[in-house]
Amino acid sequence: MKFTTRLGWTLACLLAAGAAGAQEKLSLRLDYSIYGTHAPLYYGIDKGLYKAEGIDLSIGEGSGSSNTAKLVAQGIDPIGFMDYGTMLKGVAAGMPLKAVFAVHQRSPMVIISHADAPVRAPKDLEGKVLGMSASESTAQMFPVLAALNGVDQKKINVIAPAVGTKTALFLQRRADAITGVTYFHIPPLEAQGAKVHYFFYADFGVNALEGGLAANTKWLEANPETARRFLRATRKAYEAALADPAASVDALVRQRPEQARNREQLVRQLQLSLQAAGTPNTKGLPFGVSAEKDWQAMVDQFVQSNQIASPVPTSTLYTNDYNRD
């Protein structure tokens, strides 16, 4: 009898230990193929930050924010890294999405041209060849840039390069300019010897929140504690990147060895990325927390430029509730 009791307790303890050590699987979809901004996510895996929160995180590469938004809205991946302009339009159309961790709060979107034939302002794009893929975040925001600056988009010859080929299009001078973001496009162009000129969307009126993590709202409602644990680990990872960007990239390379050849570019990308991490309205707040004033300004801008038909309540667009502890 005593043996049976002891055996029962032993089995119970083993089962309890197994439950305590169980890792909840969670998939995250990136907005694009890997670039420097993503490094902290891999740092979180490499350093066991997610594991410490009971999360077995898997990361899938993306093919543009529009596609990532669709995957997250459909629940295929509960969380995704995406452009918030794309997300805003998706929410306005009924997609169950909500921003939970803002990484780029000052827009790093730019128009890149050749230094010996610079495009200095949006209006200068008329009559030019512009490389821009419809699924990219910069393309989603381009109509806003055009509307605010009186640009006739019909006068721009747009070439839509395949995913991953826009840099080659520019280097071959098949385009007068391309849309891009500082942290993603400038480092590889410079590394290949290109002399570039660029201007920020923000300098011409488009200073919307650029991007970060968004989640499926139904998943959030059903898994609030998982969301909190995930974001707690993610915040630690990005705070570590602020202190040492190179260490984050080295962690990425350990997780994805094929990225070793891109190490220097990835470090530069991450450094540029982190420069866009906050606004005056979020000064002193934890990494990833966004401000209602910034969201409202973004909504107003989208309405004024006819990107959405009517205002969307900011409460439907973002929440800081899972990134507080």
Taking alpha carbons only, the member of 84, 82, 85, 180 closest to residue 130 is 180
Whole-angstrom distance between the N-terminal and C-terminal Cα of the chain? Answer: 48
Architecture of the domain spanning 109-204: 3-Layer(aba) Sandwich (3.40)
How many Å apart are CA 74 and CA 67, to the nearest integer?
11
pLDDT of residue 107: 85
For the chain, give the number of residues: 325
The pTM for the full model equals: 0.79
Q: Are 220 and 98 in contact (CB under 8 A)?
A: yes
**CATH of range 24-106+209-316; options 3.40.50.2000, 3.40.190.10, 1.10.10.10, 3.60.15.10:** 3.40.190.10
**How does strand 97-104 pair with strand 157-159?**
unpaired
How many Å apart are CA 68 and CA 54, to the nearest integer?
25
pLDDT of residue 163: 66
Provide the Cα torsion 278, 279, 282, 287; round to 10°.
0
User: What residues does each domain of the chain span?
Assistant: 24-106+209-316, 109-204
For 161-177, b/e burial (b = at least 16 CB within 10 A) is: beeeebbebbeeeebbb
pLDDT of residue 108: 87
pLDDT in tens, the chain (325 residues): 444 444 444 444 444 344 346 899 999 999 999 999 999 999 999 999 999 999 999 999 999 899 999 999 999 999 999 999 999 999 999 999 999 999 999 888 899 999 999 999 999 999 999 999 887 778 878 998 999 899 999 999 999 987 678 889 999 999 999 999 898 889 889 889 999 999 999 889 887 898 999 999 999 999 999 999 999 999 999 999 999 999 999 999 999 999 999 999 999 999 999 989 999 999 999 999 999 999 999 999 889 878 899 999 999 999 999 998 7
For 120-148, b/e burial (b = at least 16 CB within 10 A) is: eebebbeebbbbbbebbbbbbbbbbbbbb
Is the fold of 24-106+209-316 the same as that of 109-204? yes
